[in-house]
Amino acid sequence: MLYKQTLEKLRALRLEGMAQALEEQRQQKDITQLDFEERLAFLVERQVLWKENRGLAVRLKNAQFKIPNATLEDLDYRPSRGLKRAQIEQLRAANWVQEHRNCLITGLTGTGKTWVACALGHQACREGHKTYYYPAAKLFRALETAHADGSLPAFFKRLARAGLLVVDDFGLAGVSGKLYRQFLEIIDDRHGSGATLITSQFPVAQWHEVIGDATVADAILDRLVHNAYRLEFGGKSMRDPKNLPDRT
């Protein structure tokens, strides 16, 4: 009876990790060989691990990555891509997110920009950073909707609180000047308080042309470029079966 009550109280306190570990200990015949402090330490450790795993699962779900299973461990470093292992290792620790730096990934379609962006976002989630992923077209549609229904300030605040904002395929869709000004407000809110990762088929040197408004483009680039890591992908499309890496 005492055991059942203890489990109920642990779950009432939202200590699910400890409750699960206690149930497992009850099934281990040799557990009595451990003293009280050792058994308690195992329970506490399981609670910490459970909380960390639950937090990661929530962050990954909220991020809504296009490629949810992309990780840096599976990254393809073939020379033709122009991807430098040392640079990725710098980004792996996610210090750049903590330091509110940016990352700009450019290259032709199909060269793996989205995959790497999702992998870096996944790593940021592992490191405890709240992350949001948006294809650029979806982000601009969300801005239009928020403007129409009056929720734009709340949307700006939500994005400003993210440790990392990933904007994928920047510059592909035609966007009005008003939306680029709102995008500037997002970048401005995050400047010095959050990290932003942007992928684009267009080289950064062409972003003025993409944005159209020279003043807005200057302001956006000023906030994005000066402290950014730059990854420029080469090679042919990874979507062509002939160019896929040999995993055998």
Tell which CATH architecture fits domain 64-238.
Answer: 3-Layer(aba) Sandwich (3.40)
Instruction: Give dist(CA 137, CA 218) in Å, integer.
Output: 21
Max mean pLDDT among 20-34, 80-94, 220-234 falls in: 220-234
Q: Phi and psi (nearest 5°) for 84?
A: -95, 120
Q: Which helix (H) or strand (E) holds 195?
A: strand 195-200
Q: Which residues contact 187 (CB under 8 A, 6 or more apart)?
A: 196, 220, 223, 224
The token duo for 161 is 């609180």
113-136: per-residue pLDDT in tens? Answer: 999 999 999 999 999 999 999 999
Cα separation, 139 vs 198, whole angstroms: 12
pLDDT tens-digit readout, 9-58: 888 888 888 888 888 888 887 777 788 888 888 888 888 888 888 989 99
Strand partners, 231: 105
State pTM to two decimals.
Answer: 0.80
Query: What is the pLDDT averaged over residues 85-99?
Result: 83
Q: Where are the domains of the chain?
A: 2-62, 64-238
* Residue 34 exposed, middle or buried by CB count within 10 Å (0-12, 13-18, 19+): middle
